């Protein structure tokens, strides 16, 4: 259920919702909200809606945003990081490693990426799901970094590191 929750967070994001590649995921999701079996999920989403009045160029308008349970998003984020770690390294994340993953907004991601590029040489981009998801995976002796993007709009960062260490090693 957390995977569906994460998918809902991604495809209902204001950055992704209207993206043409999101249509194949968005339409079934919207239809599923009418499914009686999804009533609990639908109620949870409805309760999370927040109304915000935004002033744009002197015009006030109401906008609605879905709030999401960060713990559920974090669990799926960690599974994404673990899955791509296994895909790239061909072994599971060691037990003594910490794993984190989180979604980023575009502006803050650009600044983050600029800072990372000063520290390490990034590998080429890998594309998955016909362009729905792409990523770069960088690995060193005791740490990995995953820079990814959903629908070319919503950015994702994942990181694993030996629990005793908390910083990136200097690039070689």
> Residue 33 — pLDDT band, cuts 50, 70, 90?
confident
* Domain ranges, ordered by start, for the chain: 2-66, 70-162
pTM for the complete prediction?
0.75
Alpha-carbon gap, residue 145 to 159, rounded angstroms: 5
Could you give the CA distance from residue 124 to residue 42 in angstroms, rounded to a whole number? 39
Whole-angstrom distance, CA of residue 95 vs CA of residue 99: 10
pLDDT at 66 over 70: no
* Per-residue pLDDT band at 154 (split at 50, 70, 90): confident
With 0-12 CB in 10 A as exposed, 13-18 as middle and 19+ as buried, what is 27? exposed
In this structure, what are the phi and psi dihedrals at residue 55, rounded to the nearest 5 degrees? -100, 110
More confident residue, 129 or 126: 126
Segments of the chain assigned E as strands: 49-56, 59-66, 97-104, 126-128, 133-139, 143-150, 154-162
CB 50 within 8 Å of CB 62 = no
pLDDT tens readout for residues 70-118: 888 889 999 999 999 999 999 999 999 999 998 876 667 777 888 888 8
Residue predicted with more confidence, 15 or 83: 83
When pLDDT is averaged across residues 53-77 and rounded to a whole number, the result is: 78
Of 31, 7, 38, 43, the closest CA to residue 129 belongs to: 7
**Dihedral angle sign, alpha carbons of residues 40, 44, 47, 51:** negative
- Of the candidate CATH numbers 3.30.750, 1.10.3470, 3.30.160, 3.40.50, the domain formed by 70-162 belongs to 3.30.160
DSSP state, 151?
A: T
User: Does residue 64 have a pLDDT over 80?
Assistant: no
Q: In the prediction, which pLDDT does 102 show?
A: 86
Token reading at 50: 């927040």
Q: State which H helix or E strand residue 25 sits in.
A: helix 23-32
Neighbours of 95 (CB within 10 A): 6
Q: Which residue has the higher pLDDT, 16 or 160?
A: 160
């Amino acid at each position: 259920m957390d995977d569906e929750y994460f998918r809902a967070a991604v495809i209902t994001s204001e950055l992704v919702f209207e993206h043409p590649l999101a249509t194949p995921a968005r339409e079934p999701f919207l239809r599923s909200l009418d499914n009686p079996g999804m009533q609990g999920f639908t109620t949870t989403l409805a309760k999370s809606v927040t109304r915000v009045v935004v002033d744009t160029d002197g015009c006030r308008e109401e906008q609605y945003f879905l709030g999401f349970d960060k713990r559920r998003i974090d669990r799926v984020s960690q599974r994404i990081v673990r899955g791509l770690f296994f895909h790239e390294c061909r072994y599971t994340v060691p037990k003594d490693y910490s794993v984190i993953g989180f979604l980023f907004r575009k502006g803050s991601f650009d600044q983050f990426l600029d800072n990372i590029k000063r520290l390490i040489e990034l590998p080429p981009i890998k594309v998955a799901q016909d362009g729905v998801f792409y990523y770069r995976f960088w690995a060193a002796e005791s740490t990995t970094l995953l820079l990814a993007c959903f629908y070319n709009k919503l950015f994702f960062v994942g990181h694993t590191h030996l629990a005793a260490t908390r910083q990136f090693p200097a690039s070689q």
